[in-house]
Amino acid sequence: MDGILNINKPWGRTSYSIVAQVKRLSGERRVGHAGTLDPAATGVLPVCLGRSTRVTEYLMDTAKTYMASVELGVTTDTGDVQGKIICQGDPAGISYGQLESALASFRGLIQQVPPMYSAVKHNGRRLYELARAGTEVERQPRLARIYRLELVDYKPPVVTLEVECSKGTYIRTLAADLGQVLGCGAHLKDLTRTRCGFFNVKEAVSLTQLEAAFRYGYWQHYVYPADVVLSQWAAVVVSTDAEQAIRNGRSLSLGEANHLPLSFAENRCRAYNLDGCFLAVLHFDAESGQWHPEKVFL
């Protein structure tokens, strides 16, 4: 069983519990998700099965889009609605123009300090484990990129934002940092991931739909092939001899295709055999001028 499910994660469920449920429904041992969503978040959670788990890292590298509701005037220890209130301010005087001005400072390349309630490790332990034990440690800022940040709605004290960002971006931290810039504090009230690379929430399947599909034998309808997440990369069809070389892990020249446009993802391309089957991910080595099989799928 190979492929990717675009699941609409419901509120209150952990990403790990969704993976466990898919394992139970499918009977497939190799199952993994591409990018954790907090229990209080909903939306797109791509779940990879079988050999498709090998494209998880590429999917996690893609841009994500979120619809976020931020409540001004209330700061929590977790940065979201599930935390304890640690500070309250007065957002009454915050205008639409002030919001727009504050948001401008978060567009582009920014630095974020990972929240204590996150899966980042410190000396071998997850930060959220330390936080639950009442321990707070110093965290180093990390780079994140905000490709797009739009003010969708403002009904005081709640701000609705649409955020397109790189992997490793914490929307909870963005909400808290926005509150600091505005001087009134803030926390993330609601979050939905509307897009993760190729996948969007409009085509996402609910867990109820997925359970019925496995029960009645039409689950294949919801499974995407692994190579859809690599569709932004250049593609090449290789000969039978080249296919064998790739299967054996040998580097090779692709002739005219050796000069194909290199994708932005570190000079990679998709390789297909003469039957049109997705064969491998190839990586171009500039020093040797050849393509090396990075991951083989057939």
Supply the pTM of this predicted model: 0.90
Listed residue (32, 25, 24) closest to 4, CA to CA: 32
Residue 265 confidence (pLDDT) above 90: no
Name the catalytic one among 38, 80, 177, 227. 38
- Using alpha carbons, list the distances in angstroms from residue 192 to 169, 179, 195, 212, 228: 14, 20, 9, 24, 22
Separation CA 81–CA 96 (nearest Å): 23
275 is catalytic: no
Q: Mind spelling out the 3-state secondary structure of 34-65?
A: CCCCCCCEEEEEEEEEHHHHHHHHHHHCCCEE
Tell me the percentage of the chain whose pLDDT exceeds 90.
Answer: 75
Separation CA 28–CA 8 (nearest Å): 20
- Domains of the chain in start order, with CATH, are 3-62+198-228 (3.30.2350.10), 64-196 (3.30.2350.10), 233-296 (2.30.130.10)
Place 288 in a pLDDT band, splitting at 50, 70 and 90: confident
* Token code pair at residue 31: 């199952």
Q: What is the pLDDT of residue 16?
A: 94
Across 19-30, b (16+ Cβ under 10 Å) vs e yields bebbbebbebee
Separation CA 38–CA 80 (nearest Å): 10
The pairing of beta strand 41-49 with beta strand 186-196: parallel
Bridge partners of residue 280, in order along the sequence: 271, 296
Taking residues 222-232, report their average pLDDT.
94
State the Cα torsion 265-271-276-278 to the nearest 10°. Answer: -70
Q: What is the pLDDT of residue 220?
A: 95
- Which tens digit of pLDDT belongs to each residue from 118-149? 666 766 767 667 667 677 777 788 899 999 99
